[in-house]
């Protein structure tokens, strides 16, 4: 029997514990640039605790390689164990690799809060960034108060209000759960009776079922304007002043591109890059992925942001078939560089720069704001 099928049978039918053993890979075998950090001699390097994740393509292996290449001492931090506070006491900085799934995020958030706010440790990602992970409601509020172009969204925890709105919305709409990836909690709402059904389920005593058997969508409605542009998701990833990205296309008649597996690596539109950079500058720290869709008039709207970028290979953006990345220059030029990086390693570099060599604000004022104050030119 295949390993995967055997595991599913054990975990789902025989109720064996779900595996959370770390996954391994060799990031060095891909064709990627080494990410180097200039560390002044007079500043002491922190001692790093590294958590291991069990994502199919792990993050922690890329962090480990970065730490080794840049002369940081580290050891593995086994945060699931009961003695996590005692273990953490020897570290200055702790690196986490969030995995999708609300139970894992809850655990990490609690621990990062205690470590960062109460015990004075520096965490990557920090608590504020973690609040954005896998939480569309929180992200939408933050995008809104920063006047960023999030697609028109109705979020309510009030049954009477949600019910009253059913006949006032224009259809179709897109309904989303606050957590979830790969479109698993995203559905099309074509008419008022669909919306009514969702509202009734969500506000029922059990809440609405989700793809996770242990979670329900309870007492929170998330309806978003359906964007009928070219049905192509534009993803722009920003890390420091580096910009990558790609497009995703839905499969068959589905309107949802996330999770379809169809990725198109081509040059990115300047308007989308601009929105992503503004979003990163206002609410991002080390890295931010910004997903956008076009409306009928060709205007880009944000549909989701992710402070953690899931990547399989260091090859992200391609311009005329050549893999590389743009870097934002002080004069507003986007310079295409034929270099591929592991985004996790670039993010770690930015994290150390923003936490040990300057503040986030100083970092942005130096590397981002001069470029952002210009209107862009695209240069290959
Ligand atoms: N407002 C929208 N209008 C049209 N399509 C949308 C809208 N929001 C999401 N989609 C489609 O559904 C997919 C999944 O939605 P998204 O919010 O990105 O959730 P997930 O977290 O599952 O990726 C997107 O990749 C996009 O193709
Ligand atoms: Mg998405």
Predicted local confidence at residue 380, as pLDDT: 61
pLDDT in tens, 257-305: 999 999 999 999 999 999 999 999 999 999 999 999 999 999 999 999 9
Secondary structure element (H or E) that encloses residue 153, with its range: strand 153-156
CA 257 to chain centre: 16
pLDDT band at 59 (very low <50, low <70, confident <90, very high): very high
Residue 178 contacts residue 136 (beta carbons within 8 Å): yes
End-to-end alpha-carbon separation of the chain, Å? 50
In angstroms, the CA 173 to CA 20 distance is 37
Residue 295 contacts residue 228 (beta carbons within 8 Å): yes
Nearest one of 81, 73, 76 to 97, comparing CA atoms? 76
Mapped onto helix, strand or coil, the DSSP state of residue 92 is coil
**Is the CB of residue 176 below 6 angstroms from any atom belonging to ligand 1?**
yes
pLDDT in tens, 204-238: 999 999 999 999 999 999 999 999 989 899 999 99
In angstroms, the CA 12 to CA 139 distance is 32
Residue closest via CA to ligand 1's atom 10 equals 256
**Is the CB of residue 233 below 6 angstroms from any atom belonging to ligand 1?**
yes
Which class for 175: exposed (0-12), middle (13-18), buried (19 or more C-beta within 10 A)?
A: buried
Report CA Rg, the chain.
21
**Is the CB of residue 304 below 6 angstroms from any atom belonging to ligand 1?**
yes
* Mutation choice for ligand 1 from 154, 189, 293, 308, CB with most ligand atoms inside 8 A: 293
352-358-359 Cα angle (round to 5): 95
Q: Which domains does the chain have, with CATH numbers?
A: 40-132 (3.40.50.20), 152-225 (3.30.1490.20), 233-379 (3.30.470.20)
pLDDT greater at residue 117 or residue 317:
117
Position in ligand 1 atom list of the atom nearest CA 151: 1
Q: Any idea of the CA torsion for 21, 27, 28, 31, to the nearest 10 degrees?
A: 160
In angstroms, the CA 5 to CA 144 distance is 43
Q: What is the rounded average pLDDT for all residues in the chain?
A: 94
**Is residue 358 scored above 90 in pLDDT?**
yes
Residue 142 contacts residue 136 (beta carbons within 8 Å): no
**Is the CB of residue 255 below 6 angstroms from any atom belonging to ligand 1?**
yes
Residue 144 contacts residue 150 (beta carbons within 8 Å): yes
Q: Any idea of the CA torsion for 124, 23, 325, 28, to the nearest 10 degrees?
A: 110
């Amino acid at each position: 029997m295949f390993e995967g099928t055997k595991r599913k049978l054990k975990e789902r039918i025989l109720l064996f514990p779900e595996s959370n053993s770390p996954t391994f890979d060799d990031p060095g075998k891909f064709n990627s640039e080494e990410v180097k950090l200039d560390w002044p001699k007079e500043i002491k390097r922190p001692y790093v605790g590294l958590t291991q994740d069990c994502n199919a393509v792990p993050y922690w292996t890329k962090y480990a390689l970065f730490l080794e290449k840049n002369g940081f001492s580290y050891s593995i931090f086994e945060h699931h164990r009961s003695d996590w506070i005692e273990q953490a006491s020897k570290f200055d900085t702790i690196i986490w690799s969030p995995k999708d799934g609300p139970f894992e995020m809850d655990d990490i958030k609690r621990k990062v809060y205690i470590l960062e706010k109460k015990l004075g440790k520096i965490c990557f990602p920090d608590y504020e960034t973690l609040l954005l992970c896998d939480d569309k409601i929180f992200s939408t509020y933050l995008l809104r108060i920063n006047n960023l172009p999030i697609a028109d969204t109705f979020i309510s925890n009030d049954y009477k209000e949600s019910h009253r709105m059913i006949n006032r919305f224009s259809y179709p709409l897109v309904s989303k759960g606050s957590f979830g990836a790969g479109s698993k909690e995203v559905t099309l709402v074509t008419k008022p009776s669909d919306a009514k059904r969702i509202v009734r389920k969500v506000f029922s005593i059990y809440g609405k079922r989700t793809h996770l058997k242990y979670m329900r969508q309870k007492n929170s409605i998330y309806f978003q304007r359906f964007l009928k542009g070219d049905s192509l998701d534009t993803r722009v990833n920003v890390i420091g002043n580096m910009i990558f990205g790609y497009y995703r296309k839905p499969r068959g008649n589905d309107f949802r591109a996330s999770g379809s597996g169809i990725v198109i690596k081509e040059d990115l539109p300047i308007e989308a890059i601009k929105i992503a950079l503004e979003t990163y500058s206002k609410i991002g720290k080390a890295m931010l992925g910004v997903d956008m869709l076009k409306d009928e008039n060709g205007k880009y709207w944000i549909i989701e942001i992710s402070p953690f970028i899931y990547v399989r290979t260091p090859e992200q953006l391609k311009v005329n078939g050549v893999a590389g990345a743009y870097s934002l220059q002080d004069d507003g030029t986007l310079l295409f560089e034929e270099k591929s990086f592991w985004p996790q390693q670039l993010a770690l570099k930015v994290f150390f720069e923003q936490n040990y060599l300057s503040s986030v604000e100083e970092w942005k004022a130096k590397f981002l704001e001069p470029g952002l104050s210009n209107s862009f030119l695209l240069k290959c």
